[in-house]
Amino acid sequence: MNTTFLRSACQFCIKNLGQRQKGTSSHKWIQRQHKDPYVKRAREENWRCRSAFKLLEIDDKHKLFTPGQLVIDIGAAPGSWTQVACRRTNAAGSDAKLPKGKVISIDLLPIVRVPGAQIIDCTDFTSLECQDKIIELSAGKKADVILSDMAPNASGIKTFDGRILVSLVSKVLKFSVNQLAVNGTVLVKLWHGAGCDELEQVMDKLFDSVKLVKPQASRDDSREIYYLCQKFKGLENSEDNNKI
Ligand SMILES: C[S@@+](CC[C@H](N)C(=O)[O-])C[C@H]1O[C@@H](n2cnc3c(N)ncnc32)[C@H](O)[C@@H]1O
């Protein structure tokens, strides 16, 4: 048989199969968004995405934020966690009677301005330039709360994606060791799987309290889990820092 014909026939099939699969999964995604009560509430209450409810719930239960705090929000786009952090720390100064907080938000993607937040967008958190910029904006103050909702672009290979996230979160912990105030809080997202236990051991060394939290707004079929690390012990020496 003519090999050129065979090749183009195969390419046609692959292309159409891809489009059919893509079509089905985006249809499912639209249906799920349509039915999701958190998507509806986010629209009504002016949050940029449904993730806001995860942080609101965690804060309501575990009291992360108070007015006047410095918060660093890593992996912040489109910005719903930044909105929550700004509101709960009074970063926009909306209540003149309360201390004014500061929120620094970072993402690889662009972030539309959030009143009260200082934004470092289109920047990779793991780069030295980005971390220097965060330190500069912190103006000599250590953070009270460091959040990471970072998620790498998923390849679909669970263990591979999970490992990349573990590596990103280990960089957040390393950064926190130097930039978090004693008694401060770190909240990070991981995908349950390889590498999480090792990271948990590091967290246990650095914080008095480490809890696994799965807010209701986190979908049941999602592997995401949040580690809430509270009461940072502070490091007298850099020994533990080197183990991260
Ligand atoms: C689930 S979204 C965050 C949603 C956000 N918490 C909100 O409520 O709007 C994950 C974000 O992590 C960002 N991200 C992934 N790797 C990153 C990196 N190395 N540096 C900065 N941001 C990163 C992605 O660009 C993406 O916007």
- Does 65 or 8 have the greater pLDDT score? 65
Task: Tell which atom from ligand 1 comes closest to the C-alpha of 153.
Answer: 15
The confidence score (pLDDT) of residue 10 equals: 35
- Could you confirm whether 61 is annotated as catalytic? no
Task: Tell which atom from ligand 1 comes closest to the C-alpha of 79.
Answer: 9
Cα(111) to centroid(ligand 1), Å:
10
Cα(23) to centroid(ligand 1), Å:
25
- Where b means 16+ CB within 10 Å and e means fewer, 154-165 reads eeeeeeebbbbb
Angle subtended at Cα 154 by Cα 54 and Cα 221, rounded to the nearest 5 degrees: 45
Q: pLDDT tens across 20-39, in order?
A: 455 666 777 677 777 889 99
The confidence score (pLDDT) of residue 243 equals: 58
Q: Whose CA is nearest to atom 25 of ligand 1?
A: 108
pLDDT of residue 65 exceeding 50: yes
**pLDDT band per the 50, 70, 90 thresholds, residue 2:** very low
| C-alpha torsion angle, residues 67, 123, 148, 91 (rounded to 10) | 10
The confidence score (pLDDT) of residue 20 equals: 47
Q: Which of 61, 100, 189, 243 is catalytic?
A: 189
User: Tokens 């995908």 label which residue?
Assistant: 191
Residue to mutate (ligand 1; options 47, 56, 107, 165; most atoms within 8 A of CB): 107
pLDDT of residue 144 exceeding 50: yes
User: Tokens 């489009």 label which residue?
Assistant: 19
